[in-house]
Amino acid sequence: MRIKLFTGAAAMIVGLATSWSAAADDYPSRPITIICPYTSGDGPDVIARLVGAELSQRLGQPVIVENRAGASGQIGMTTTAKAPPDGYTLGVGLVTNLALAKHTYKTLPYDPLKDLAPVALATVNYLALVARPDAPFKNVTEMIAWAKAHPGNLKIGTTSMGGLPHMSFELLAHMTGIKFINVPYKGNAAIMADLAGQRLDLAVTSYTSVAALIESGKMRLLGITYGKRDPQLPQLPTIGESVPGYASEGWFGFVAPAGTPKPIVDKLNAEINRALKQPKMLQTLNTLGLIPVTESPEYFGRLMQSENQKFAKLVSDIGYDPQ
């Protein structure tokens, strides 16, 4: 009896694998939709459309980018998670909605680790920790020493509570034991104005948004949040050089509804990776300050797992109250 049951189960598994493989061979047979949880013209939207155009050319079917912005990306991610797992709906997600949101919101209408399947990690990027030019510190080590000598006096501006800039500095503060006052802003321009006006000491923001200010001497770069020096800009120091083990990177990738057949996921992964190597794509990514990544779905899945674990621990350790 056990042998018959085992044989039947094995046959079923083989049958499923065969049907999935056949589905991948015939895929796609109709248009593919990419759900972008951000507005048209934003960085994720630009990359999604460039990748979509390459996929359409390679796969021979239209690829439509549909913007479902709102609720910090939750609407688009939920739409993706609830779509049929047939390979005809993809979503684009950032570290914020694939790793942070699960731990910084009281409720989330989707679970990034259970409801979504990683397809392809597309890019990574880093943030910049900047100070006003007259700040009483010139580097990360001096900033930490000053903050410890003046506990609770360090004022930092970030966009949105619980967002990547905020939590990146929370991670640094937790690792070094410094105290600070976080001042949330709705936009980067207001942060830069208050930093220049000496109402703030520090800001965490995208490097591309402050590169010109740093080069002109209007802002002082203390370090970038990347885990290693950027090969394209090796002169930029990393925070991790002063605080070993520190890294807090942004990343962007493509996901599918959980249960999407692996042969289809693998096919999409291969085509997205090819798209990311195209000259026009590389030029656009460089302009946006994004570093292309061409890895497997399994690599992306491990990243999602490890990042969720990192932020879950951080939120617990610092006693952050989910919003």
CATH number at residue 285: 3.40.190.150
Radius of gyration of the chain (CA): 22
Residues 231 and 216 in one domain: yes
Report if residue 7 sits inside a domain: no
Distances (CA, A) of 166 to 162, 169, 288: 6, 5, 21
Q: Is the pLDDT at 18 greater than 70, yes or no?
A: no
CB 116 within 8 A of CB 98: yes
Residues 143 and 192 in one domain: yes
Average confidence score pLDDT of the chain: 93
Q: What is the pLDDT of residues 226-263, one digit of tens each?
A: 999 999 999 999 999 999 999 999 999 999 999 999 99
Q: Is the pLDDT at 60 greater than 70, yes or no?
A: yes
Residues 131 and 94 in one domain: no
Residues 130 and 36 in one domain: no
Report if residue 103 sits inside a domain: yes
CB 145 within 8 A of CB 151: no
Which pLDDT does position 9 carry in this prediction?
A: 54
Would you report the helix, strand and coil content of the chain in percent, each value rounded to 5? 45, 20, 35
Q: What is the pLDDT of residues 160-203, one digit of tens each?
A: 889 999 999 999 999 999 999 999 998 889 999 999 999 999 99
What is the number of structural domains in the chain?
A: 2
> Of 208, 241, 274, which residue is a domain's last?
241
Q: What is the pLDDT of residues 80-117, one digit of tens each?
A: 999 999 999 999 999 999 999 999 999 999 999 999 99
Burial state string for 147-178 with b = 16 or more CB within 10 A and e = fewer than 16:
beeeeeebbbbbbbebbbbbbbbbbbbeebeb
Q: Give the Cα separation of 273 and 292 in Å (integer).
A: 9
Q: What is the pLDDT of residues 269-287, one digit of tens each?
A: 999 999 999 999 999 999 9
When pLDDT is cut at 50, 70 and 90, the band that residue 33 belongs to is very high
Residues 121 and 253 in one domain: yes
Tally of CB atoms within 10 A around 61: 16
Range of the domain at 306: 32-125+249-318
Which pLDDT does position 255 carry in this prediction?
A: 99
Q: Is the pLDDT at 16 greater than 90, yes or no?
A: no
Quick one: what percent of the chain has pLDDT higher than 70?
Answer: 93
**Distance from chain centroid for Cα 305:** 13
